[in-house]
Amino acid sequence: MPYPRYLKPSSIGEARALLAQTPNCHVLAGGTDLMVQLHTGQVRPNALLDVWGLEELKGITGPDGTLEIGAAEPYSAIIHSPLVARDLPVLADAARTIGTTQIQNRGTIGGNLATASPAGDTIPILLAADAIVITDRRAIPIGGFYTGYRTTVLQSDELIVRIRFPLDGRRIAFRKIGTRQAQAISKVVLAVCREPARIAIGSVAEIPLRATTAEGALAQGDVAGAVEAVAGDIRPIDDVRSTAAYRRAVTRNVLRRLLTD
Amino acid sequence: MITFTVNGNAVTVDASGARRLLDVLREDLGMTGTKEGCGEGECGACSVLIDSAVVNACLVAVGQVEGAEVLTVEGLERDGELAPLQRAFIDHGAAQCGICTPGMLLAAHALLARTPNPTAHDVRIAIAGNLCRCTGYTKIIEAILACRIRAT
C-alpha cells in the first residue's frame, strides 16, 4: 500500500501554504478517526498534514471574558484544565464521556468539528454555549458551521485554530446516552441551558442541531411544551446503534430530566 | 528518517511518517510485545505510552512521535526483573491468552504513575479502553490494586 506523503508544518502559515499547494491533502490531528480510515482504505489522500504539534493550535486560555481551547488540544487536557473546571466544567464532563483514556489523550475538538460526525460528543455543548470556531481566516459561529451530513463550511485549505466560548454565566447541563460508559458512540447526546434557552442534540439528525421549536417553548418557561415539541425538531434514523423510535423517546425523557432536575 | 526514543533507547527509522506507530514497532523494530487487536482504537491491545500518556499505537502516525519518548511493554522490566505490576498479573492469574496483557499493563502503568493509590473505580475507568475476552477483568483489577502505593 503506498503511504501518503507526511507533511509536518511548524507554523499556521506553513500549514496554509502546504494545504493550498497539495491536492487531496488531509489534516491529521490526533488520528482517532483518520488513522482508521487510512488503514482501511476508506480515504486515500496524497498527503497528511500533521497539525498535532502546532503550538498555535494548542493551549487553553481565558482572554476577555471567554474561554479558548486550542483546536489540537486533546480532550485529556480539557479534562485536567483548571480553567475549564472553573469556567465551563460541563465541557470537562463531556470530554470524560469520549472514548477511553487512550482516545481522550489523542482526540481533539478541532478534529471532532472537522470530521463533522453527527455524533460528536462535545458539539451540543458548543451549540448550547454559542461557541465560535476560529479558523486561520475567520470566525464561524457554531450554528452556521455544519452544512449537511459530514460537511461543513470549511474551505478545503482552511484550518481550525481554536474554539472560543463566550462566558456569560449560563449553566449548561449535559447527558450522553450510549451502550456503555466507555468507548460508546452516542445514541443521543444533549446539552441544555434554560437561560438563554438552548436545547442542542447530537445523533438525532444528519448534523448536531438545536431544537428550535422546543427552545421557543423553553424561552416561555414551558418545560412540558419543550419536551412535547422536541420530538418534532429532530430527525433520527434507525441504524446499527439505535432506532429512530428509541432516540425520540430518550431525547424527550432526557430533556425532561435535564430541565426538571 | 524519524528519530524517537523507545524504552529509553534512541531509535532512528527510515519509514514514511504516515505509517502506524504500531507497525513500525512490530515490523521495523521487531518489538512484537505490542499487539494488534482491532486496529481501530477500540480494544487497547496496542496501548503504549507517548511522553507518559497512554495511547493506541494503531492510531498514531509514526511521524507524530518524532522526538518523543515511547514506552512499550518491553520497557517495563528492570535489569531482567519483571516490574511489580507484571509480577502482580502473574500472581493474580490476570492473564490468560495474553493478547490484551501488554496493553493492560501499560494502561495500568499510566494510571499508577498519575494516581499511585487508585480506587477500584479508578482502575475500571483506566482500563475501560482495554478489552479482555478471557479473564472477566476481576483478576486484572485485583492485580492492579495490589500495586497501589498506599498513603501511610
A26-55 pLDDT per residue, tens: 999 999 999 999 999 999 999 999 999 999
Q: What is the pLDDT of residue B150?
A: 67
Contact call for B59 and A36, based on CB within 8 A: yes
**A237 has pLDDT over 90:** no
Between residues A130 and A240, which one has the greater pLDDT?
A130
**pLDDT score for A248:** 92
Would you call B34 an interface residue with chain A, using a CB distance cutoff of 8 Å?
no
Residues of chain B found within 8 Å of residue A30, distances taken between Cβ atoms: 59
Q: Which of B18, B20, B59 sits opposite A4 (nearest CB)?
A: B18
Q: Which of B43, B41, B30, B53 is nearest to B97 (CA)?
A: B43
Contacts of B56 in chain A (CB under 8 A): 102-103, 106
In this complex, the residue of A4, A32, A183 whose CB is nearest that of residue B59 is A32
**CB-based contacts of A5, cutoff 8 Å, min separation 6:** A22, A46, A47, A48, B16, B18
Model pLDDT, residue A62:
94
Of all helices (H) and strands (E), which one includes residue B50? strand B47-50
Q: Is the ipTM of this complex over 0.90?
A: yes
pLDDT digits (tens, 9 = 90+) for B86-106: 999 999 999 999 999 999 999
Question: Could you tell me the sign of the dihedral formed by the alpha carbons of A38, B49, A86, A69, in that order?
Answer: negative
Per-residue model confidence (pLDDT) at position A7: 98
Pairing of strands B2-6, B69-71: parallel
Q: Check residue A63 and give its pLDDT.
A: 92
Q: Given an 8 Å threshold on Cβ–Cβ distance, is A3 in contact with B20?
A: no
C-alpha to C-alpha distance for A34 and A28, rounded to whole angstroms: 7
* Chain A CB within 8 Å of residue B104 CB: no
Q: What is the DSSP letter of B17?
A: T
Q: According to the model, what pLDDT value does residue A236 have? A: 87
pLDDT of residue B91: 96
Residue B129: how many other CB atoms lie within 10 Å: 25
The CA distance from A65 to the nearest CA of chain B, in Å, is 31
- Please list, residue by residue across B65-90, b when 16 or more beta carbons sit within 10 angstroms of its beta carbon and e when fewer do: beebbbbbbebbeeeeeebbbbebbe
Of A43, A69, A64, A57, the residue nearest A9 (C-alpha): A57
Long-range contact pairs involving B74-82 (C-beta distance under 8 Å, separation at least 24): B74/B7, B74/B31, B74/B33, B75/B6, B75/B7, B75/B8, B76/B105, B76/B106, B76/B109
Nearest by CB: A105 against B54, B58, B125? B54
* pLDDT of A180: 76
* Regions of chain B with pLDDT less than 70: 150-152
Distance of alpha carbon A22 from alpha carbon A28, whole angstroms: 14
Q: How far apart are the CA of B150 and the nearest CA of chain A, in angstroms?
A: 23
Cβ–Cβ under 8 Å, residues B59 and A35: yes
Compute the mean pLDDT over every residue in chain A, rounded to the nearest whole number. Answer: 94
Taking the Cβ of residue B39 and every Cβ of chain A, the question of whether any pair is shorter than 8 Å is answered with: yes
| Among candidates A30, A50, A101 on the partner chain, residue whose Cβ is nearest the Cβ of B129 | A101
A242 versus A57: the higher-pLDDT residue is: A57
pLDDT higher than 80, residue A135 = yes
Query: Mean pLDDT over residues A83-93, rounded?
Result: 97
Q: Is the pTM of this model over 0.90?
A: yes
Residue type, A147: T
pLDDT band at A1 (very low <50, low <70, confident <90, very high): low
Mean pLDDT of A125-152: 97
Query: Which has more pLDDT, A135 or A183?
Result: A135
Give chain A's contact residues with B (Cβ, < 8 Å): 3-6, 8, 28, 30-32, 35-36, 38-40, 48, 50, 52-53, 76, 99-103, 105-106, 181-183
Inform me whether the pLDDT recorded for A57 exceeds 70. yes
Q: Which one is predicted more confidently, B67 or A203?
A: B67
In the block, which residue shows the cell 511521524?
B63
pLDDT in tens, A162-187: 999 999 999 999 999 888 777 778 88
> What does the pLDDT read at residue A240?
83
Estimate the share of chain A in helix, then strand, then coil, as percent rounded to the nearest 5.
35, 20, 40
Rounded Cα distance between B7 and B49, Å, is 10
